């Protein structure tokens, strides 16, 4: 279990920037200690618990990068065509055992070992073949189309660092350096629930003043995108004692209890009082829009994070609070997002000292440049503003006005949740 201290999220300021939140987590949240061994086929998205060192050179021998003809560069004329005699063939997966003599060439295929003495490869389309001879043009550089042993990774060198969250290309590299299995961090155990008598499961019959629970579905999907399987605790009633008991029970065998809504200061916010009875609740009020109210606390050593109740605010606070917290918990290296510069196609007023995220769609202008078109609806409860846009325009704290044609930062949804 995570076993966090009761004051690990303590913060005395009225509003916290995203950077302050990240710094607090980095300093106070220790990664989980448990590791496990997985095969390469189950390593995608997992975090390395130890460095991966190359067991072999990659590639393990000099080989051809193309289909063509292996030659000795010293035989080539610097000013005109060179005639060479074909003396053999070299195939991938077979040792050639050939010695390259002066004025000779070997027909070679991609991935085949370089014949002894050969140091350069002509692409087959660049030469003219006539029977057992080729005419090779001048100008090819020494070592062209040849891959040297270890030019990708040297045996004994660091291939992948501890803390790397494994992408498909990382798994491929692990295979290339000879790994069959990898030591990875244990996945965090996350419990997700919704609370509210007004909520119903999707597809059930709605009563008066009821709506379908979409936030819980959103959170579980976002966790799955991170490779984390959540325990779905369903919808809990607005009953303080039931909430307290269920939160305590979830905290006993989970690292994080995650929910949305019910954590502000209203009399009907029963989640807040339940968490305060079961553990300690510390409010983070982030200086962002949408999504200012975020509750964090500790119950029985497990973390509790309560997100705002509106779906767009849930999305924004998940990517800026929950995702970094979970990555820190599993010992992943920092994964800062880089905003893509695009042109604004809209005018916008905002408050100073607050970061705002505006839902936008990208369009290409007649001059080829990308511009961000603001979604017509701003409401934090408008789910279609997420489905009908490509990402978020990030407006920094010092900005108070955006005009059409100004350069702004764009964060794609894939970059935020991958």
pLDDT tens-place values along the chain, 418 residues long: 677 887 787 766 678 888 888 888 888 888 999 999 999 999 999 999 999 999 999 999 999 999 999 999 999 999 999 999 999 999 999 877 777 788 999 999 999 999 999 999 999 999 999 999 999 999 999 999 999 999 999 999 999 999 999 999 999 999 999 999 999 999 999 999 998 888 999 999 999 999 999 999 999 999 999 989 899 999 988 888 999 999 999 999 999 999 988 766 555 567 888 888 999 988 788 899 998 888 888 999 999 999 988 999 999 999 999 999 999 999 999 888 899 999 999 999 999 999 999 999 999 999 999 999 999 999 999 999 999 999 999 999 999 999 999 999 999 999 999 8
Between CA 323 and CA 418 the distance in angstroms is: 10
- pLDDT at 10 (0 to 100): 75
Domain ranges, ordered by start, for the chain: 18-34+186-329, 63-147, 340-417
Cα angle, residue 368 at apex, residues 362 and 369 outer, rounded to 5°: 50
Identify the residue whose tokens are 């550089």: 141
Task: Give the right CATH number for 63-147 from 1.10.10.10, 3.60.20.10, 3.10.129.10, 2.170.190.11.
Answer: 2.170.190.11
- pLDDT at 268 (0 to 100): 55
- pLDDT at 8 (0 to 100): 81
Per the structure block, which two tokens stand in for 40? 């390469």
340-417 folds as Beta-clip (2.40.340)
Distance, CA of 175 to chain centre: 20
Between CA 233 and CA 189 the distance in angstroms is: 13
* Cα within 13 Å of Cα(85), Cβ side: 5
Return phi, psi of residue 61, to 5°: -155, 160
**Residue 408 backbone zone (phi > 0: left; psi -120 to 50: alpha; other: beta):** beta
Between CA 183 and CA 166 the distance in angstroms is: 12
Identify the residue whose tokens are 């975020």: 294
Identify the residue whose tokens are 């973390």: 303
What CATH number belongs to 18-34+186-329?
3.40.980.10
Between CA 362 and CA 340 the distance in angstroms is: 11
């Amino acid at each position: 279990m995570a076993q966090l201290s009761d004051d690990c999220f303590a913060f005395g300021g009225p509003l916290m920037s995203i950077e302050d939140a990240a710094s607090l987590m980095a300093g106070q949240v220790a990664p989980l200690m448990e590791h496990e061994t997985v095969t390469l086929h189950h390593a995608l998205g997992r975090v390395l618990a130890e460095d991966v060192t190359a067991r072999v050179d990659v590639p393990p021998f000099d080989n051809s990068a193309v289909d063509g003809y292996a030659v000795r560069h010293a035989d080539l004329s610097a000013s005109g065509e060179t005639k060479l005699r074909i003396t053999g063939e070299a195939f991938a997966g077979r040792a050639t055992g050939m010695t390259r003599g002066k004025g000779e060439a070997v027909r070679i295929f991609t991935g085949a070992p370089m014949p002894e003495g050969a140091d350069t490869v002509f692409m087959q389309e660049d030469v003219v073949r006539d029977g057992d001879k080729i005419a090779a043009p001048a100008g090819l550089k020494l070592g062209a189309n040849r891959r040297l042993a270890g030019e990708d990774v040297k045996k004994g060198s660091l291939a992948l660092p501890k803390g790397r969250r494994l992408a498909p290309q990382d798994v491929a590299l692990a295979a290339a350096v000879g790994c069959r299995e990898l030591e990875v961090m244990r996945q965090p155990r996350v419990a997700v629930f919704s609370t509210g008598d007004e909520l119903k499961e999707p597809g059930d019959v709605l009563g008066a003043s009821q709506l379908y629970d979409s936030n819980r579905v959103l959170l579980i999907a976002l966790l799955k995108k991170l490779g984390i399987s959540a325990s779905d605790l369903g919808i809990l009633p607005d009953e303080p004692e039931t909430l307290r008991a269920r939160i305590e029970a979830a905290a006993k065998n989970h690292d994080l209890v995650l929910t949305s809504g019910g954590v502000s200061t209203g009399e009907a916010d029963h989640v807040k009082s339940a968490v305060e009875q079961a553990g300690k609740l510390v409010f983070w009020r982030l200086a962002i829009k949408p999504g200012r109210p975020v509750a964090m606390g500790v119950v029985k050593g497990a973390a509790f994070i309560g997100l705002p109740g509106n779906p767009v605010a849930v999305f924004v606070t998940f990517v800026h609070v929950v995702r970094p917290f979970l990555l820190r918990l599993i010992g992943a290296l920092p994964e800062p997002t880089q905003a893509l510069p695009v042109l604004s196609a809209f005018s916008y007023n905002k408050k100073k000292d607050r970061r705002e995220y505006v839902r936008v769609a990208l369009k290409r202008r007649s001059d080829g440049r990308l511009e961000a078109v603001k979604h017509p609806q701003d409401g934090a409860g408008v789910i279609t503003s997420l489905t009908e846009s490509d990402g978020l325009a990030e407006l920094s704290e010092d900005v108070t006005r955006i005009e059409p044609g100004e350069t702004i930062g764009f964060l794609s949804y894939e970059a935020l949740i991958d």
